[in-house]
Structure 1
Amino acid sequence: MEFTGERFIPALSNAEDDIYYEHYNRYISIAEMAKEKYVLDAACGSGYGSGILADVATQVYGIDIDAEAIEYAQNTYAHKNLEFQTASVTEIPFEDDTFDIVISFETIEHLAEPSQQLFMDEIERVLKQDGILIMSTPDKELYSEKNLYNNHFHIKEFYEKEFYNFLRSRFKHVNFIYQRNEICNVISGHLCNDMKVIRKDYLDSSQGKYIIAICSQNELVEQKCASLQIHTGEYGKKIHRIIELQNEVEEKNKWAFSLDEEVENLRSIINDERTQFQSLQIQLQEKESLIQKQLEESKNKDESIQTLESNKEELLGEITQKQE
């Protein structure tokens, strides 16, 4: 299978990338809820999540509309209690009241609104009366708008309140848990078996990049679904990246300062040239004025010469008459 950037394929992804942690952690966090249950993984993709659930569930079925993904899942995540089928989430190929749990992670936003409603119809149909739906989707505000990001694979994303109302129109009880990345300080070693959580206030956070909804017609009870995965070396990578960005900023600042100096030099040259130009304009105006004055003097002289010529002609005429 080819990695497109949207469908998660563990074998083709870097184990240190966010996508790796985000996708795995969703299934790991709710695996305890699937223990000894009949589970449907709707839009299972490459099948890695169905494989995680099959380790604890009684039976898991994974469906996906992509035949290539299903073939890959069948060849990669074989379990005796796990079956994969090519099928659309709007036409789920199972009888009514079949599943204890239906899981659908990062699927609903890939459907247009009419198909979203058909998907929910099918979930309600195949889910037992006391069954549970676990569905995740990105929070449009945090995932897209805050980051100025547009995922061209997504058709209809939800704001948190909008997603809640969407699910509450189908289920009496809807509870949200949230997935996000945090920075943590870790103390560990080969003599340490248990890890203490010193601060738990982050567990009560009511916001996250991804919303994971737990829905049922029956009242929901407390579940073991909180999960923490350590991004090995992530803090060091972020510090390294910050230093790289700082160095880039310093280089750009130096470049900006050099441009400022060049601009100032150009301004100085322009000012000098402007002064010279103004001086030349003044000289030109003075010369034009002098030329105009000389032209006027020349005109006056021409007029005087014409007068003299006229007087000369008159005198010659008078002399000629007297001689006759």
Structure 2
Amino acid sequence: MPVKFSNKKLLEVACGTGYWTQYIAETAQSIVAIDINKEVIEIAQKKKYPPGKVGFEIVDIYNLAAFNGLFEAAFGGFIWSHIPVEKLSDFIDVVHERVLKNGLIIFVDNKYVEGSSTPVFKTDDAGNTYQRRRLQDNTEHLVLKNFPKAEEISRLLSSRATDLEYIELENYWVIKYRKA
């Protein structure tokens, strides 16, 4: 499914190194790409984008109230799974505060695929799942990585979304909807 935001003013949450930004910029009118991490923003800024279309800001996704602007669309690539279950509802509300009514919102993230995904190492009392990951320097870290089911996403968005579409791919899921 191609992600097209034709002629839309878009907010990209947790843009990371700008992987998705470079593709979305091909069709969007403009993008404000945000991330809390200065180092990944610096990497993203070095990529080539159509002139005058993309701006970057260091912003905490849990505190978008301090960030000005309303957008016609929002996109989040591979951030949903890193939001603690207990903060997910607030996260969606905060993103929605920055999107106009009936605005297009798309999230894409990993599905858990047995034998392909890094195994879940632990689950906490809130239901968050964690993977154990080893870095190149041989240090190990627990990384929050939730794998929501379609029903959980639908339940969370039921009063917040219209035209909700859940697309399940082999290794990923995509949700596309309009802000209610």
Question: TM above 0.5, one fold?
Answer: yes
Does the 8 A contact of 2:100 with 2:179 survive in 1?
Answer: no
Letter in 1 for 2:119: Y
Alignment of 1:57-68 (within 5 A): 57-68=28-39
Deviation of residue 146 (structure 1)?
8.4
Deviation of residue 172 (structure 1)?
3.2
C-alpha spacing 1:94/1:147, structure 2 compared with 1 (3 Å):
closer
Q: 2 CA distance for matches of 1:216 and 1:145?
A: 34
Partner of 2:20: 49
Q: Structure 2 residue aligned with 1:95, among 68, 75, 85?
A: 68
Normalization by structure 1: what TM-score? 0.44
Partner of 2:175: 213
Structure 1 segments of 4 or more deviating over 4 A?
144-148
C-alpha spacing 1:126/1:75, structure 2 compared with 1 (3 Å):
same
Matched, 1:179 2:156: no
Q: 2 CA distance for matches of 1:147 and 1:58?
A: 35
Q: Structure 2 residue aligned with 1:123, among 84, 95, 100?
A: 95
Q: 2 CA distance for matches of 1:107 and 1:179?
A: 17
Q: 1 CA distance for matches of 2:62 and 2:99?
A: 14
Q: 1 CA distance for matches of 2:176 and 2:34?
A: 20
Does the 8 A contact of 2:107 with 2:176 survive in 1?
Answer: yes
Letter in 1 for 2:168: Y
Letter in 1 for 2:15: C
Matched, 1:168 2:158: yes
Which structure has more relative contact order (CA 8 Å, sep 6+)? It is 2
Q: 1 CA distance for matches of 2:39 and 2:104?
A: 29
Give CA deviations for 1:35-65 in whole Å, capped at 9, x if unaligned.
1110111111101211221122111111111
* Structure 2 residues not aligned, in runs of 5+: 121-130, 133-142
Matched, 1:156 2:146: yes
Equivalent residue pairs, number: 158
Matched, 1:86 2:76: no
C-alpha spacing 1:133/1:115, structure 2 compared with 1 (3 Å):
same
Does the 8 A contact of 1:133 with 1:214 survive in 2?
Answer: yes
* Structure 1 residues not aligned, in runs of 5+: 1-25, 181-208, 219-324
C-alpha spacing 1:81/1:217, structure 2 compared with 1 (3 Å):
closer
Deviation of residue 147 (structure 1)?
5.9
Q: 2 CA distance for matches of 1:147 and 1:112?
A: 19
Which protein has the bigger strand share? 2
Letter in 1 for 2:172: Y
C-alpha spacing 1:59/1:154, structure 2 compared with 1 (3 Å):
same
Give CA deviations for 1:184-204 in whole Å, capped at 9, x if unaligned.
xxxxxxxxxxxxxxxxxxxxx
Does the 8 A contact of 2:77 with 2:107 survive in 1?
Answer: yes
